Amino acid sequence: MPAKPFADNKPPIQALLLDMDGILYHGNSLLAGAAALLRRIEATQHLFLTNNQLNGPSKSRSRIAT
């Protein structure tokens, strides 16, 4: 799927950087709309970031693997 323009006079979005805490989940709960967001950005290059040191990479990865 080709990238869609963000606005009429803006170039298409090529990639996304997303913070996980507070964007995809809060505590142990997936936030409303998070699963839909993940499906929507599936065809766009993306990278998830977090500054939460309590979860290692494998636990963070498993939280969004749904």
Residue 11 binned pLDDT confidence (cut-offs 50, 70, 90): confident
Q: What is the mean pLDDT of residues 32-59?
A: 83
Residue 20 CB contacts under 8 Å (≥ 6 apart), including other chains: 48, 49, 50, 52, 60, 63, 64
Compute the mean pLDDT over every residue in the chain, rounded to the nearest whole number: 79
AA identity, residue 61: R
How much is the pLDDT for 29? 83
How much is the pLDDT for 45? 94
Q: What is the mean pLDDT of residues 48-56?
A: 74
Residue 28 CB contacts under 8 Å (≥ 6 apart), including other chains: none
Q: Please check the confidence at residue 33 and state whether its pLDDT lies above 80.
A: yes
